[in-house]
Amino acid sequence: MKFINLTRRTEIGANSYYLEIGRHGVLLDCGMHPKNTGEDALPHLKEIARRGIEAVLISHAHQDHIGTLPVAMRRFPGACVFMTEATAEIGSVLLHNSVSVMTRQREEIGERSYPLFTHREIDRASKRWRWCPVRQRISIAGERAPQRERNALTFEFFDAGHVLGSTGILLRTEGQTVFYTGDVNFDDQTIMEAAIFPQEKIDVLIMECTRGDHAQPAGWTRAGEERRLAEALGNAFERGACVLIPVFALGKTQEILAMLHKFRRESRKVSGEFPIYIGGLSSKMTDIYDRRARMTRRQLPHLQLMRDVAPFILNDETVRDAPLRTGRAYILSSGMMIPKTLSNVFARRLIENPQHSIFFVGYANPESPAGILRDAGNGGEVALDPDKPPQRIRCNIEQFQFSAHARREMLIEYAKKLSPRKIVLVHGDPPAVEWMRATMSTELPSSQVIVPTSGVELEL
């Protein structure tokens, strides 16, 4: 087996990994960096330009895992592309939105290589995507795989509990097994149910490390965190505030909408029909969650978010003009508050007003505007948009723990169950990856723990 990390550095960026197993070459994910632009937003696909890619396997439809799939399909036209049906539906919407964003960025930031692909190219490419159910062994040729074919390379999707359609991917050939976790959550969320992952013996485990630098707080429970959020919202509304919650359009938006629906219905400090606002892309993703409510493993299968929560929809124009009225919750993407996105534009309107609040509920890259704002805290100064002057932080800022990624303690526990020959650590900022490496090296002495250098071929 051979492995190449195509992500440009140790980070959560343009996630993509080349795996050569049993004389077969496959690509695991092909993402776009959420913060970088142009060539820097792409995986290092040039590193595998002369290698045969028979299949591209997509774990889920977040931008950092599927965002440059059309580029990969252009460079490897013979490769079959596999994902779940839900990921295909979400991915098509996300990639079309990405074309619109890149087209705008071509003018705004002068990035002449944009758009990296077109709407027409996405339509053509998506017709070649093959939808696969979970827990069914399939050959990379696209057929259902006979159990007796030892030399064929097969894969099997497992529900990852991260967002709608997300999977871990188990590959088998010639008596060798590799499991790629993708992004995983071993705990129930408000909508998504916990991952169901393989428990069998694995030779190589490729594992995400997103929360490797975050210990579970003493006494933390999800129910307790929900109470804390409900109380914070109630306090904010009582003092005449509106509240901005930066979220990812896929996953976090729907989880927070479901949580706020619970708050409205239950006897909590924030009960009542307070107005909720989301963005246009978030509404499209929420429509997909609603359509698939009874077709997928999930909690609250009868909840229709667009009908029962009835959020108002903001766009690029209305977010600049929407009045900052009391008792309103703005659930806006992007989660990292990338410049020009709804959450960034809206944050710049309220950041200097001590009456209002920004609540962070998930991961934010420390170098992203959201990460910088969160870490600077009240009284600090931050430039959320490089084209705008810095602003003094006077609004109320609070952090809540509702991550869609597995706690580091659960990742360690899962690795111990599998006790693989080798563990490859990916998808984490350097401190997170280093904690996972050091801990696993101590607690799994029989496993070789590897942090792959970008672009360097590893023998596994």
**pLDDT, tens digit, for every residue of 41-61?**
999 999 999 999 999 999 999
pLDDT value of position 142: 66
Query: Of 264, 262, 298, 304, nearest to 283 (Cα)?
Result: 304
d(CA 62, CA 70): 14
The answer to whether the beta carbons of residues 206 and 427 sit under 8 Å apart is no
Domain assignments of the chain as residue spans, ordered by start: 2-214+404-459, 222-399
d(CA 204, CA 438): 18
**Cis peptide, bond prior to residue 115, ω within 30 of zero:** yes
Q: Is the pLDDT of residue 379 over 90?
A: no
- Say which CATH topology domain 222-399 has: Rossmann fold (3.40.50)
pLDDT value of position 218: 84
Q: Is the pLDDT of residue 320 over 90?
A: no
Query: Of 248, 298, 321, nearest to 278 (Cα)?
Result: 248
Query: Of 21, 25, 53, 52, nearest to 173 (Cα)?
Result: 21
Judged by average pLDDT, the poorest of 105-109, 256-260, 348-352 is 105-109
pLDDT band at 387 (very low <50, low <70, confident <90, very high): confident
The reply to whether 2-214+404-459 and 222-399 are identical in fold is no
Coil, helix or strand for 159?
strand
pLDDT value of position 317: 81
Coil, helix or strand for 268?
coil
Judged by average pLDDT, the poorest of 97-111, 153-167, 316-330, 425-439 is 316-330
Query: According to the CATH classification, is domain 2-214+404-459 in 3.40.50.720?
Result: no
Mean pLDDT to the nearest integer, 183-204: 96
The answer to whether the beta carbons of residues 67 and 31 sit under 8 Å apart is yes
Q: Is the pLDDT of residue 275 over 60?
A: yes
Mean pLDDT to the nearest integer, 66-93: 97
pLDDT band at 268 (very low <50, low <70, confident <90, very high): low
